[in-house]
Structure 1
Amino acid sequence: MYRRVSILMRKHFVSVLVLCVALIASLSVRAADPAKGKALFQQNCASCHNVHKKVTGPALKGVEERWSDKKLLHQWIHNSGSVIAAGDPYAVALFNEYGKQAMPGFPSFSDADIDDILAYIDAESKVDVTAKTDGPTATKGGEDSGNNSLLFGIITLILAIVALILMQINSNLNKLAADKDGLAVSEPVPFYKNKAYIALTILILFVVGGYFTINGAIGLGRQKDYMPEQPIFYSHKVHAGINQISCLYCHAGAEKSKHAMIPSENICMNCHKTITDYNGPELFTAEGKKVNGSAEIQKLFDAVGFDKETKTYTKPGKPIEWTKIHNLPDHVYFNHSQHVVAGKQQCQTCHGAITEMDEVHQFAELSMGWCVNCHRTTKVQFADNKYYSIFEQFHQQVKEGKIDSVTVEMVGGTECQKCHY
């Protein structure tokens, strides 16, 4: 009897254990990550879609509610043709609405990737895009409202002059007091003849002059906040910010070569064959001058010889003479692909809030010290990064808990030959 009860209890225990494991497994389902979804959206979807408005494809706000089954939405993203062929009413209507142009499939996306993208779309849908400023927010390079060093310098100079005047007055008052008491006191030496004052003035001028000379020498060739006027007013805020076009769509070389590359006019015309007029928010230069967006698009058409009425190229084109903003000395080696692919760096690391700039300016000073400090503090994405697979010692130290992360400096990022050759 006891043995039978014991066996029965073990069976119940095993059943409960299996149920608990199943429950834990169901609770540990991966939560969607909007941050990863944003990166995937910008790289793969932003060239055709916007969350809030219709562009090449439909606006994606509320996309999950428009589909009867989430699995069907996943299938549509993997292969839209299969859903259309199956005769789903919404898929067929969408196909017909957009001129029977099927959406490109993304078979490489996992279900988790799609859930991440949908989570980003849901989060972005809650953002209010109607708020708009009445005027320009950008400023020309060189203005720094937070830098009061010039004001402090002027105040210091004024106080120094006041101190010299007060010292001279004190000397004259001492002379008057001594004369009244009948004491013999030598005539005070004028401050411009006083050797101590002259020596102090020379020393101060030497220090101040040396400071500005050294700072000027260090800054030679640097052009932080440089914002040249371009032949066509191109707003990164409109393209990369509002319309969320991936940086790599235009600057394809950033993940493949040393140079990010200025996009050719053909890249521009991929969109502007159909977008012939500007209907976005008002544009302003850094000086506050209003910009006619449609007129700027016409400058592009004039350069490539495109007639927007007939949608044909009517004359030979000519290259647009863009002004390069970010320049490094010839003896410095910088590879975009190494930073973007191996280093997993975002464009904003070096270029600042590029998605908020109407007129692009150089955000960082791009000096040697700036780069070295970045390499000393930046932690590389060491795990699951094949580029760093040869550093077995660091991998082992991370596993053993001896170090919690690996910086660029630890993998040779501050060695001279890395950047100078």
Structure 2
Amino acid sequence: MSKEGVTPGDAPAAAAPAAAGTAAPAGDAAAIAAGDALFKGNCAQCHAVKDVVVGPALAGIDKRRPMPWLISWVKNSSKMVASGDEYSVKIFNEYQKQQMPSFALSDAEITSIFAWVKAEESKGGDTPTQTDPKGAPAGDTTSADSGAGQYMNAVLMVLVVVLIVLVVTLVIIANIMKDVLRGRKDLDGRDVELLEQKTDWMAILKSGWFKGIVGTLFVLVILYESIQGLMAIGLTQGYQPAQPIAFSHKLHAGEHQINCAYCHTSVYKSKNANIPSANICMNCHSQIKTTSPEIKKIYRAVQRQQPIQWVRVHNLPDLAYFNHAQHTQVGGIECQTCHGPIENMDVVYQYSALTMGWCINCHRETPLNTKGNGYYDNLVKLHDSKNAAAPFTVSSNGGTECSKCHY
């Protein structure tokens, strides 16, 4: 909200069970959880429970204004200001006449937001934990993989050191044994000849078998690199184009913890993930003004009513069907699963391979959450009757059939 409502933005939300126009009961965990997700996705950029950010602190909001007024304000604050409502005009003037956009939220969803605010008041402060739009903690999903990688690197380093120590030890032992044998007087001419023989490296280098080994290795390396090059045609993993405006996800999503759905408003409800318009940028930067030349580019685009020509990073071929909402909303896939540690990227790059094999492996390994969804009941029973030990994955539900993505 902005001002007394919800932070500017248009994020999807789970319906809250609270009755429209009435405060949700303090013990209604489902409504509070829904409000938590809605607040993080829509309000946290401009509001806190006890601190003034862009808009006022929300603690005690239910005592300052009745719930019907709050619902009307969130849905269309500009209409209330234009109507001359005394409190609306007061808030509008107090906060530099910064108008809050309208929100297509239901009464129950708005009520659940204020139920969450009420619950946070009783805890004595704001909760710093960022959540995704489903209410689940959005931790660093790459930390486990990073720890495993560091562990394997440490093991490999130890093995290399041990191998070097063993080689040095064997060389030392060989030299000691030669010195011991040279001190013996019972050696005949043949033994002395073997002991003192030198390696003829030039003879080895000129030998046919050595040339054959080197030639074979050379051909194998060239063949391997050629195959790898052919396999990489059309793949853009690591692609990191320069953008027309130097937007940092590390600053916005990382340091300031702006929820992904605040800017990419359709990621949970559309086939495609949208690129945010300059108007969404201005929701914050109309108040947070800097002399940055990059910010001035946004102002210029808004003044000229021209879209910002962002360069697309993640591209899938036209022959492959992919539905973003199906994976994020239904499948519950976190952003970092495919896009990597986006909150640590100053410049976005393609983190995953996005190949057919990469997608199929995910479908084979990812279990489906079928709990409470009657659509899957018979499918799960059929699956368990044949192979109860294996989890019911996307592949079990036909997720690896060709026609699912190619039709």
1:270, distance to aligned residue in structure 2 (A): 5.1
**Is the 2:235–2:353 contact (alpha carbons within 8 Å) kept by the matching residues of 1?**
yes
Residue of 163, 180, 190 corresponding to 2:199: 190
1:412, distance to aligned residue in structure 2 (A): 1.6
Q: What's 1:414 paired with?
A: 400
**Is the 1:333–1:420 contact (alpha carbons within 8 Å) kept by the matching residues of 2?**
yes
Q: What's 1:364 paired with?
A: 352
Within the alignment, does 1:79 sit opposite 2:78 as a pair? no
1:85-128 residue CA offsets vs partner (Å, 9 max, x unmatched)? 9x999778546534496885744325556424654687771549
**Is the 2:49–2:117 contact (alpha carbons within 8 Å) kept by the matching residues of 1?**
no
Q: What is the aligned-residue RMSD (CA, Å)?
A: 5.7
Going from structure 1 to structure 2, the CA distance change for 1:74 and 1:243 (only over 3 Å counts) comes to farther
**Is the 1:37–1:118 contact (alpha carbons within 8 Å) kept by the matching residues of 2?**
no
Q: What's 2:289 paired with?
A: 277
Within the alignment, does 1:232 sit opposite 2:245 as a pair? yes
Matches within 5 A, 1:127-166: 127=128, 146=150, 148=153
Matches within 5 A, 1:161-310: 181-184=187-190, 188=197, 190=199, 192=201, 193=203, 198=210, 209=221, 213=225, 216=228, 224=237, 226-241=239-254, 245-269=258-282, 271-272=284-285, 274-275=286-287, 277-278=289-290, 294-302=292-300, 304=301
Corresponding pairs, count? 347
Q: Which runs of 5+ in 2 are unaligned?
A: 1-24, 131-145
Q: What's 2:313 paired with?
A: 325
In 1, distance between residues paired with 2:119 and 2:219? 59
Q: What's 1:108 paired with?
A: 107
**Is the 1:52–1:59 contact (alpha carbons within 8 Å) kept by the matching residues of 2?**
yes
Q: What's 1:68 paired with?
A: 63
Normalising by the residue count of structure 2, what TM-score does the alignment of the two structures yield?
0.59
Going from structure 1 to structure 2, the CA distance change for 1:225 and 1:119 (only over 3 Å counts) comes to farther
Matches within 5 A, 1:348-359: 348-359=336-347
Q: What's 1:41 paired with?
A: 39
In 2, distance between residues paired with 1:403 and 1:90? 62
In 1, distance between residues paired with 2:198 and 2:61? 92
Greater relative CO (CA pairs within 8 A, separation 6+): 2
Residue aligned with 2:243, SS: coil
Name the aligned partner's letter for residue 40 of structure 2.
Q
1:119-172 residue CA offsets vs partner (Å, 9 max, x unmatched)? 46877715499xxxxxxxxxxxxx999374996898699789869977996998
Going from structure 1 to structure 2, the CA distance change for 1:120 and 1:34 (only over 3 Å counts) comes to farther
In 2, distance between residues paired with 1:265 and 1:379? 38
1:297, distance to aligned residue in structure 2 (A): 0.3
Residue aligned with 1:125, SS: coil
In 2, distance between residues paired with 1:250 and 1:118? 26
Q: What's 1:31 paired with?
A: 29
Going from structure 1 to structure 2, the CA distance change for 1:173 and 1:73 (only over 3 Å counts) comes to farther
1:220-244 residue CA offsets vs partner (Å, 9 max, x unmatched)? 6555555444332212244445655
In 2, distance between residues paired with 1:262 and 1:374? 26
Q: Which runs of 5+ in 1 are unaligned?
A: 1-26, 130-142, 279-292, 307-312
Going from structure 1 to structure 2, the CA distance change for 1:220 and 1:56 (only over 3 Å counts) comes to same
Q: Larger radius of gyration, structure 1 or 2? A: 1
In 2, distance between residues paired with 1:28 and 1:169? 82
Name the aligned partner's letter for residue 263 of structure 1.
P
Residue aligned with 2:35, SS: helix
In 2, distance between residues paired with 1:317 and 1:91? 29
In 1, distance between residues paired with 2:242 and 2:347? 8
Going from structure 1 to structure 2, the CA distance change for 1:125 and 1:168 (only over 3 Å counts) comes to same
In 2, distance between residues paired with 1:399 and 1:262? 42
In 1, distance between residues paired with 2:211 and 2:176? 20
In 1, distance between residues paired with 2:100 and 2:309? 37
1:12-59 residue CA offsets vs partner (Å, 9 max, x unmatched)? xxxxxxxxxxxxxxx995336765433222344346545575455323
Residue of 28, 48, 56 corresponding to 1:58: 56
Q: What's 1:125 paired with?
A: 126
Name the aligned partner's letter for residue 181 of structure 1.
L
Normalising by the residue count of structure 1, what TM-score does the alignment of the two structures yield?
0.57
**Is the 1:236–1:359 contact (alpha carbons within 8 Å) kept by the matching residues of 2?**
yes
1:416, distance to aligned residue in structure 2 (A): 3.5
In 2, distance between residues paired with 1:294 and 1:122? 40
Identity of aligned residues (%): 35
Q: What's 1:394 paired with?
A: 379
Going from structure 1 to structure 2, the CA distance change for 1:232 and 1:418 (only over 3 Å counts) comes to same
**Is the 1:178–1:184 contact (alpha carbons within 8 Å) kept by the matching residues of 2?**
no
1:61-107 residue CA offsets vs partner (Å, 9 max, x unmatched)? xx1x35438xx65444433499999x999778546534496885744
